[in-house]
Amino acid sequence: MIAYLYGEVVQKNTDSLILDVNNLGYKVYSPNYIIESVEENQKIKLFVYENIKEDSYDLYGFNDQTGLDLFEKLISVKNVGPKVAIGILNIAKPDEIKNAITEGNIAFLMVAKGIGKRAAEQIVVELKGKLANFELAESSNMINGFSQNEEAIQALLALGYTQKDALKLLSKVDQTQAVQEQVKEALRNSL
């Protein structure tokens, strides 16, 4: 069983990454927030879920153990497979999804591809109690080892930057600074 992969991103696709691990290429399906946060030729570590069937062998990768744990909880729900779970993780960050489930926000979950009202209700019913004590580590907001400040990201988005560009700019600034200083430094670095 594969616990994690550490290697270089060779190719980015809309729903997956090709990861070179010691000259062996792995196709790893990941949520959009992970795919958007990495660049080709960058080394990354992905915690992996293996989905083995008689006609396929798919890998699903997450940037931390808590992301993988949430994914595994989602696929434990009746009629929610790995592709649907990835669709759910594509609509928001793991902590927002956890909050939506614990608050019973069915409309929020229905935004995900492949999730109708019944499926959303089923997810809430089956996971609401299981996620009550489920803590998402701060590392769910970690991108390349930097704890991203949500306010700084929102400020850059308001200035017209894409989320990918905002994350890239903020990964190069001192994360211990105040939000204003992070944004100023990111803007200086963008020139």
What is 42-102 written as a DSSP string? -EEEEEEEEEE-SS-EEEEEESSHHHHHHHHHHHTSTT--HHHHHHHHTTS-HHHHHHHHH
Give the rounded percent of residues in the chain with a pLDDT score beyond 70.
88
Average pLDDT over residues 74-82: 93
Q: 79-82 long-range CB contacts below 8 Å, 24 or more apart?
A: 79/119, 79/122, 80/119, 80/122, 80/123, 82/29, 82/49, 82/51, 82/58
CATH number for 65-138 (one of 3.30.360.10, 1.10.150.20, 3.40.710.10, 1.10.300.10): it is 1.10.150.20
Does the 148-190 domain belong in CATH 1.10.8?
yes
The domains of the chain are located at 4-62, 65-138, 148-190
Q: What is the pLDDT at residue 134?
A: 65
DSSP letter at 162 equals -
Q: Does residue 152 sit in helix, strand or coil?
A: helix
Q: How many CA atoms lie within 13 A of 79 on its CB side?
A: 10
Same CATH topology for 4-62 and 65-138: the answer is no
pLDDT band at residue 175 under the 50/70/90 scheme:
low
Each residue's pLDDT tens digit, 132-164: 666 654 433 444 333 345 677 777 777 888 767
Read off the pLDDT of residues 113-138 as tens digits, 9 standing for 90 and up: 888 899 999 999 999 878 766 665 44
Confidence of residue 72 (pLDDT cuts 50, 70, 90): very high
Mean pLDDT, the chain, rounded, equals: 84
Instruction: Read off the amino acid at residue 171.
Output: S
Q: Answer yes or no: CATH 2.40.50.140 is held by domain 4-62.
A: yes
pLDDT for 121 equals 93
CB 70: neighbour CB atoms within 10 A?
25
| pLDDT of amino acid 16 | 96
Whole-prediction pTM value? 0.68
How many CA atoms within 13 Å lie on the side-chain side of 43?
Answer: 4
Backbone dihedral angles phi then psi of residue 145, each to the nearest 5 degrees:
85, 0
